[in-house]
Amino acid sequence: MQSTPPAISFQNVSKTYRGGQVRALDGVSFDIQPGEFFGLLGPNGAGKTSLISILAGLARASGGSVKVLGHDVIDDYAAARKALGIVPQELVFDPFFSVRETLRIQSGYFGVHNNDAWIDELLSNLGLADKAHANMRQLSGGMKRRVLVAQALVHRPPVIVLDEPTAGVDVELRQTLWQFVARLNREGHTVLLTTHYLEEAEALCHRIAMLKLGKIVALDSTSELLKGTASTMLRFKTDATLPASLAGQSRVTGRIVQITAHDATEVETILATLRSAGVPIEDLEIGRADLEDVFIEIMQGASA
């Protein structure tokens, strides 16, 4: 019996620019299974856009292979591309078409016709029902972004890729978008999300991969990552400079300091270190670490 292929499979993917001077991806391998809601996180320049561009067939890997539902993105481009619905970061449209025409044209690219019922469902779920006849150039930036999402989904792709879909969008669109994408995921669509909003990733993703300097430095279920090393977080305010021994595990925002700890003993050690360094602290809180804390610890610790 043939087993179902992964929704997305990255095998030893590398990407260099400028004749090998810049190594954007360095042997990236992981699979995303059908039905997963998967998060790809990493700081600026980690290689996320390079990986998504290779997946989308917009850029060529320097080495390795990428498959979508078993279809190689180069050798079997049309089938791989048809299986994907990609919501890009940038807004690029033909301004002269209406919203409905834009969606019909996009369907046509994939050989899908007479799908107005699905187009209506997309428009209504993305809060665009009253904009169906508006020309693209009349829409606000947020509304255009909704059309981008509809455009990516119009051929009902089994695998949905969202590349920082909520960068700069308002709360209402975020909620509309996440409700709809979560519904599609419950109905069986695979979702790959890249985002800098770690709260969103924590709330939505079953599994998360973290990229740093082109290498995977963490890959686990969201709950295991949260249970991981930095499970406790101290938060307090101070005007003083922290002792050097704590600086590496601290996040400082103005007067607010957050320090990760592994257990109660480490919390005591941190407090003793602050006391003996004469650092006065106010409004101390001790809580559970969130994904942002885990991310910072992994990025600081990873020697990729």
Ligand X SMILES: Nc1ncnc2c1ncn2[C@@H]1O[C@H](COP(=O)(O)OP(=O)(O)OP(=O)(O)O)[C@@H](O)[C@H]1O
- The reply to whether 14 sits near ligand X by the rule CB under 6 A is no
Cα separation of 181 and 230, whole Å? 30
Tokens of 16: 């260099």
Give φ, ψ of 205 to 5 degrees: -90, 135
Contacts to ligand X from residues 50-79, by CB under 6 A = 50
**Identified binder of ligand X from the candidate list 2, 3, 4, 44, rule CB under 6 A:** 44
CA atoms within 13 A on the CB side of 287: 10
State the amino acid at position 130 in one-letter form. D
- For ligand X, give the closer residue by CB, 41 or 119: 41
- For ligand X, give the closer residue by CB, 2 or 44: 44
- Provide the β-strand partners of residue 43: none
Segment contacting ligand X by CB under 6 A, of 3-11, 14-22, 234-242, 248-256: 14-22
CB of 291 to ligand X, least distance (A): 16
- The reply to whether 17 sits near ligand X by the rule CB under 6 A is yes
Cα separation of 87 and 211, whole Å? 20
**Identified binder of ligand X from the candidate list 7, 8, 28, 46, rule CB under 6 A:** 46
Cα separation of 93 and 185, whole Å? 27
CB of 53 to ligand X, least distance (A): 8
Count of residues that interact with ligand X, criterion CB under 6 A: 12
Cα separation of 222 and 159, whole Å? 20
**Identified binder of ligand X from the candidate list 1, 2, 3, 18, rule CB under 6 A:** 18
- The reply to whether 198 sits near ligand X by the rule CB under 6 A is no
CB of 127 to ligand X, least distance (A): 27
Q: SS3 for 185-233, per residue?
A: HHCCCEEEEECCCHHHHHHHCCEEEEEECCEEEEEEEHHHHHHCCCCEE
State the amino acid at position 88 in one-letter form. P
Pairing of strands 159-163, 84-87: parallel
**Identified binder of ligand X from the candidate list 12, 22, 96, 223, rule CB under 6 A:** 22
Segment contacting ligand X by CB under 6 A, of 37-45, 94-102, 260-268, 291-299: 37-45
Selection from 178, 117, 186, 189 nearest residue 146 by Cα: 178
**Identified binder of ligand X from the candidate list 9, 14, 26, 42, rule CB under 6 A:** 42
- The reply to whether 24 sits near ligand X by the rule CB under 6 A is yes
Segment contacting ligand X by CB under 6 A, of 46-54, 80-88, 239-247, 282-290: 46-54
Name the residues that contact ligand X, by CB under 6 A.
Answer: 17-18, 22, 24, 42, 44-50
